[in-house]
Structure 1
Amino acid sequence: MPRCRVGTIVHEHVVLRLAHLSDLHHQIDWRMRPFWSSGWRGAPGRFELHALGRLRRFLGVEQRIARLVDQVLSLAPDRVIVTGDLTALGDQDELRHARALLEPFIAAGLLVVIPGNHDRYADARHAAFEVVFRDLLTSDLPELADEHGYPFVKLVGEQHALVGLDSTRVQGWSHYLVGRLGARQLRALARVLEHPCLERRTVLLLAHHGPAGPSGSFDWNESGLIDADALLRTIRDRRVVLLHGHSHHRYWHRAHGGRPHLIAGGSSTERPGFWEVQVDDHRALQAVAHPLR
């Protein structure tokens, strides 16, 4: 566990280089499984896969992920971020296979992941993602997390921290429509941001659902975070950069008026590509969108 130096004054600026991917939507061959094998929670997702063409949209996704892995590793980033929706329905076999596809990142000690709504669809216990990725979800400040383990904190060097959130705190089929952090997790986030260990660090905050769509305003389809205003109040005027997914469009809203930089990863497999983000501090960053080669 990295040592937390409280009150350290750092004279040398260090740039953190991140690769930001999202919404990979790896899928097993659901045509080989009975419709109700994914349970009542997964039924709308199965309908979307089979009747609305989503299964066809993401055919060949394994090959795209393999190419993404090779391309990202060639850039030698400090960390690789995946902001949720690693799978189609969150079946435990899907999650395990998605993890195997990302194993080169894990073996290199680079991968940081959070869940998305698709990673919960077939999971009645709301825990399969945490079972499969348990070793990657540990926190350097576990005492600040809620009972589900979020927010988790990863201290990186002396100047940066990665903080992961779970925006899938919804009930029943509403996870097909909206995301939610919840008051308890937002209070925990406030405690994290106020902790002396993060006082001089730039925080890279990771969520699946973002607070704004491509237009820059809340959008039910593209962002869908029902407590977006509460999140923005919590991080207003903080040393924060927010990286998120959910929207399959890749966009960057620059910081203004107390609102931090918001960077949407897009779907790295449907619109193949990813962000390369270089962060000095929360004000000084560069982001380049790389198409899949």
Structure 2
Amino acid sequence: MPWMTSMRFLHCSDVHITANYLSLPLLKLGWRRWIAMAELSVGGRSKAYARAPETLATIASDAEQHGVDHFILSGDLTAYALDPEFQLARASLGALAEDPGRCTVVPGNHDVFTPGSHRAGRFARHFGHLLESDLPEYRREGAFPFVRLVGKGAAVVGLLSARVPFVPGFAHGYIGPAQLEGLAELVKDPRLAGRAVLVVVHHAPLTHKGRADSLLHGLKDAQALFRLLPGPRYAVLHGHIHHRYHHPATAERPHIFSAGSSTQAGREGYWLIEVRDGQVVGGQKHVPGGTREPARAQA
């Protein structure tokens, strides 16, 4: 058909915009962030993400340079769900963050790190306008699943897997039966016929080794998700695991793209994912600044 043209999607994740926690009042941070500050200092996370805003801004600029049809960020915009971190993440994305037709963002577990940040709807306060759906009748849990019809050849579906952890260190996620039921109905909608479907979720269905992730870190209902998305028409785009990898589709499951941690010092990068004739045909790793990642640096 003459309208069947190639499309390109930029996928990044886990940008972890990090506030200066040592300058903030300890009482307002709360005990969960007190524990997490060891990771920031002794664990070196604060140093690793010191330039995250600038790197994210460069990736957003690359989207314009590459002429991508849609920009996707699969969660963990922040270090520990503070308002200034969300504000800086949105500012770093620039004009992309203002347009649901050009940009999809879902929350990660770091974006709902505390019960307070979840109750306040902090993610939605800054990015709720990007959770709009072109087919809202399929929503089952708040805004999720939402769908964006991109051109005539693709659809981007956002799912929620990030849950407030019982205590820091419990970083597993789940989609849940309500969203899965909505997704099952959505993919049968005739308005998605002939389109590639890119499903965005934070937690990883498989590790870089092709295995289920650990009990306290993985996506608990990954197999249920796979059953709804068989073959190369579909892809699951995720973050959470700080490795960048691609598992090609099989007859039983979709393509799986992990964007890794796109702004982490020494591991910066993202995917450019290609869609053609309603199928996901592959992707290329790039580093911020628009160049393809050297083969020797691939993980």
2:91 partner letter = A
- Equivalent residue, structure 2, for 1:217: 211
Contact kept? 2:141, 2:178, Cα under 8 Å: no
Matches within 5 A, 1:274-293: 274-281=270-277, 283-293=279-289
Contact kept? 1:213, 1:223, Cα under 8 Å: no
Contact kept? 1:179, 1:209, Cα under 8 Å: yes
Among 94, 108, 132, which residue is 1:116 paired with? 108
1:144 partner letter = Y
- Equivalent residue, structure 2, for 1:230: 224
Among 23, 42, 46, which residue is 1:32 paired with? 23
Deviation at 1:201, TM superposition (A): 1.8
Deviation at 1:38, TM superposition (A): 2.6
Among 177, 183, 186, which residue is 1:183 paired with? 177
- Equivalent residue, structure 2, for 1:70: 61
Tell me the distance in 2 between the aligned counterparts of 1:208 and 1:112.
12
Deviation at 1:129, TM superposition (A): 0.7
2:219 partner letter = L
Identity %: 37
Tell me the distance in 2 between the aligned counterparts of 1:35 and 1:99.
25
Deviation at 1:283, TM superposition (A): 4.2
Instruction: Give the paired residue count.
Output: 284
Deviations 1:105-127 (A, max 9, x none): 23575221111111111314162
For structure 2, the 5+ residue unaligned runs are 290-299
Q: Does 1:127 align with 2:112?
A: no
Matches within 5 A, 1:1-293: 10=1, 12-106=3-97, 110-122=102-114, 123-125=117-119, 127-169=121-163, 171-173=165-167, 176-220=170-214, 224-237=218-231, 239-270=233-264, 271-281=267-277, 283-293=279-289
Deviations 1:179-215 (A, max 9, x none): 1111111111112112222233211111111200000
Cα 1:151/1:115, change in 2 over 3 Å: same
Give the root-mean-square deviation of aligned CA atoms: 2.3
Cα 1:259/1:249, change in 2 over 3 Å: same
After TM superposition, what 4+ stretches of structure 1 lie above 4 angstroms from structure 2? 281-284
Cα 1:142/1:69, change in 2 over 3 Å: same
Tell me the distance in 1 between the aligned counterparts of 2:184 and 2:169.
24
Contact kept? 2:14, 2:263, Cα under 8 Å: yes
- Equivalent residue, structure 1, for 2:295: none
Tell me the distance in 1 between the aligned counterparts of 2:186 and 2:278.
16
For structure 1, the 5+ residue unaligned runs are 1-9
Compare 64-73 and 245-254 and name the one that shifted more: 64-73
Cα 1:213/1:149, change in 2 over 3 Å: same
User: What TM-score does the superposition give when structure 2 sets the normalisation length?
Assistant: 0.87
Compare 219-228 and 11-20 and name the one that shifted more: 219-228
Deviations 1:45-66 (A, max 9, x none): 3332234321122112222223
1:90 partner letter = A
2:37 partner letter = R
Cα 1:240/1:223, change in 2 over 3 Å: farther
Tell me the distance in 2 between the aligned counterparts of 1:29 and 1:281.
47
**What is the SS of the residue equivalent to 1:286?**
strand
Deviation at 1:236, TM superposition (A): 3.0
2:285 partner letter = A
Tell me the distance in 1 between the aligned counterparts of 2:232 and 2:62.
33
Contact kept? 1:235, 1:259, Cα under 8 Å: yes
1:79 partner letter = H
